[in-house]
Structure 1
Amino acid sequence: MEVAVARVLVHLVLCVVLLAGGPVLAAEKRVALVIGNARYERGGAVPAVAANAAAVAEALRQTGFDVTVANNREHRGLVAALSHFAARARGAELGVIYYSGLALSAGGRNFLVPVDAKLEAEGDVVLDTLDLDQVLQQMQAPKRGVLLLDPVVPNPVAEVLKTVRPVPGPPGPADTLLIAYAHQPDTPPTPVRGNGPGPFAAALAEELVKLGADLRGALTEVQRGVAARTGGAQKPWMQDRLGPTVALLPEAPPEPKPEPKIEPLDGSFVVTRDVNLRQTPDSKAPVVRRLARDTTVAATGRVRQGSWTRVTVDGQQGFVSNEYLKRPGAAPPPPAPAVADTGVRRVLRDATLFDRPVLGARGVRELPAGMMLTVVEPAADGNWVKVRDRFGQEGYVSAGTLGIGEGEERILSGTSAPTPSPGGSSAPEPARAARETVAGGESVANRARAMAQRGIEAQRRAREAAEAARGITATAWVQRFANGDVYEGEWASTAVGGIRQVQRGGYGVYRFADGQLYEGEWRNDEMAGLGVMAFRTGDRYAGGFRAGQPEGLGVFRYANGDGYAGEVRANSPDGVGELSFANGDRYQGPVSGRRPSGNGASDRLGAWQGAGAGE
């Protein structure tokens, strides 16, 4: 009940701030002028303009702008509105002008059309309209400015003049300004029927008020929205010299977590392994202290419908997962898989610490080979491990990058050592087993190279899709993300739970903010199928992808000159394949994490030798 009330109060406070129209980001002064010329003396009423102006003005108010609306202005009134805007915007952090109405271009110049324009001859264009350059001059008053042009067609005023185009062409360069058209320069937008807002104004009003949005991200979404609304017939255009990004509305405040309900519990428990004592019953909660294995703790409560117990030890109180507690004298729980082990582990090769357990996540820092890390907990899918470095920085690494146990070179992959066959007989003699497996390794390597070639073909098609996306089509456009990542490529409409959703699907290019690059196939909003990945370390991979990471058959080319062709699991060589080394050596057979892992054969100084069990 308390949580529900708190949630309602949070939303009420946010709504009050938005509806009041006060600046959401209080330190910034933001001013806006919205012009809607909907009724012309010669030409009559223009569809959608009034609705356009009203929708955009309300959205700008909600994002903290001091908005002035100027509707149906004649030439003198239009000039006065612009002068008044410049006076209000002087020194402001950001100024925005939105125009909806008739516009035209002639002789390489662009003009806004006041409602009293006559335009009986070509010479009337200069006298009866407002040169767009004058508008851009007024936009120098704020520190940075945004001009949004949303002209409508048909343009009855311009139809009488043969040398005039009914839409504006490209503007000249303008520093500190972002200029966005509802259409491509010199290309008319789609005609609007009815009294509602047109596709550009509707999408703009929708995106501006989304919590956590920034201006560039909102305009990118507007491009996508207009393309979707018009079936690709109308493609917004943008010239961006604005500078640093502009936040619109802050993120919604997080909903308060319910207080855990604790049932009384009195007794002693023993910790079955080194584990964290946390402030609250949450694996992400702050750590009170580290509890060593076999530490005795006093239980004071158990979380109802949860898996945590409240305990005290040496006067400190906190929570421990039930998984790591046992009654004194009780048998210990079965050992966890290798990937779940905590403790200090060594980085086997140069790697990256990521902020999330998914390929393509933001890199937190580089991890040199040999560095020691503390394993905190495994990720849910078992392919990633949460670790902490000696400076307290936490993040995720692929399981295949860590060694396990003191003095062991086995990869942290959950595999076990070979077991004897029934009756106690030993495994096949290593050299003979190597001869039996090398042929299989060579076959898999060749199939992996063929798969890599298909991945390179998918890369070519992805680049073509990215090129099409920059021009925006009905099925391809550019998406920019708040963290700096950019996707350029194809999109697909998919039904999820009976609701149609637009997701990345087909071919596309994903540029990560940290320099990593993927070019290839997408399915259900994930990298899946065939493609090429260029890592920020200089490593490259071509071949199969699944669930956002290399998986299946493929080829790795490493920055140090080594290579691998074969089976890949969870972004790492794992299975049968061929390793090639910068010094000319080769190995064919079972591989795990860039290392021989079983009976195989190696080619050293030109002579194939049995590699035997994994090194």
Structure 2
Amino acid sequence: MSFATRIAAFRVRLAAAFALVVCGSALASGAEAALPERRVALVIGNSAYTAVPPLANPMRDAKGVSAALKRLGFEVVEGYDLKMDDMTNVVRQFAQKLDGAKAGLVYYAGHGIAVGDENYLIPVDASLRSEADLDFRAVNVQLVLRQMQRDERVNIVILDACRDNPFAAQLAAKSRAVTRGLTPIETQSASGILIAFATDPRATALDGERDGHSPFTDALLKHIETPEVSITTVMDRVRADVWEATGKKQKPWTNSSIIGEFKLNPTVKLASADPTDASAAKAINAAVPAPAMPSAPVFDRSQIDIKTWEAAERGNSAADYRAYLDAFPSGQFATFARNRLASLEAATPPANAAGAVAAATPGVTDEALKAETGTAQTETAMKLDAKARRELQTRLRASGFQPGKLAASFGPSQRKAILEWQKSRGIPETGFLTALQATALREQSEPAYQRLLADEAKAAAEKKSRAADRGRAGKTRGGVADAGEEMYQRDLARERGVAYQGPAGQRAVGTTSSGYQGRVRQRGGASSDSAGAAAIGSIIGGAIMGGILGR
């Protein structure tokens, strides 16, 4: 088939769709085409719990579901690692957007707990010591349901919140009403609602492998965008996949009162039209000009993200990873890119402040910092050696925080300093760092860090100089004594008209210090000169004494 023939067939196929539009506009009633029905979703993913160990996958699960719902045409209100006030705020925003919507959907991933007949969603800052705390530090699922049921619409609630919950163990000792997992929610009192749990009531679900999705959300993402399938069929397929994937250990549970079928991804069916209608074909020819050549393949942003990351991995340089982060600061591989960039920078630290600023990761924003939570795992992934840990402690001190004495590992005082720094930046306060947080600390502290290094180097040089001065002073004092003794001996030799003998005890040969030639007189020792002088003295003395006596 020639290219021209393919274009003609293409125009004929489009004639049916165009004819429907033309006929609709020509109706005597003047009725306008109905607008698509509004659908609103609330998506929450809580991973970075502070009072109990954090969860690996809820944030990633929620972001995957949010992206799928946006592709399905939902208006999405979303939030991640939310504290109590933040959770109530996003529920309020969701309630406001529901006004006039024909469908509402809620997806939650994180810790959940059941007490009696009530289910609660747990914010990341919750610290539950008694059953009464739930009313003030957790979000009751009924609060969310009340917002959804204010008007007639289809409502769907999906809770991947049945993980093994340490809060349940804390509260079980004080309340016999606390149960494992979540308790079933009755839907028969209201029509048009579907409740889906990741597993059976009062059972726990798996969180999944790290850096992946939970088994429940993994199956949900696989089926949620299937065209022309009702929500009940989607959940039936999810249940079957999870049952097999977990070795028949986890079975999702659904309760529904939806009448009829509600399809998450309905397709638009056009009315039939006569493809041989000349007027319709003429109109479509005018409205849709023939393409000059076959269109090139189109890659969506997700595919470009993957291709860019593969190129960065092949290059494996700091510049390649920064290029990836410039293009995709919140991409699928952004965390890995920041971790590898931090490792490369730690291996080759900049020699000065200018180099450090140049090597800093671009795009370290407050939003990016708040989206990451430091854990023991994120810090281990950074592979910090003792030198790098000491450097970070020095940078904390340069920034005004007190990590205590420098140590090869992070102890309580270092963790406290990290937590205080995180608090000052408004990011999750865990006392553990991520690669992005370490980069932000380096950027923030660089000028003060360089000044601190310079001051320490100057102090060390001054200390070394003072020690050298003390050593020279000791040698000088000893030298002065020796020089004084030598000067004394030289002067004595000059007065006596003899040659000076040096300190080594050797006789000087040649010209003496006074200009005379002769033998050296040794101090304190007998010589022929001294013996002669003594004899002459004896003779002169005898003569004098004889003269005196003779008188």
Q: Which TM bucket (shorter chain)?
A: 0.3 to 0.5
Normalised to the residue count of structure 1, the TM-score between the two structures is 0.37
Asked which structure has the greater CA Rg, the reply is 2
Give the structure, 1 or 2, with the largest relative contact order (CA under 8 Å, sep 6 or more): 2
Normalised to the residue count of structure 2, the TM-score between the two structures is 0.41
Q: Structure 1 or 2: larger helix share?
A: 2
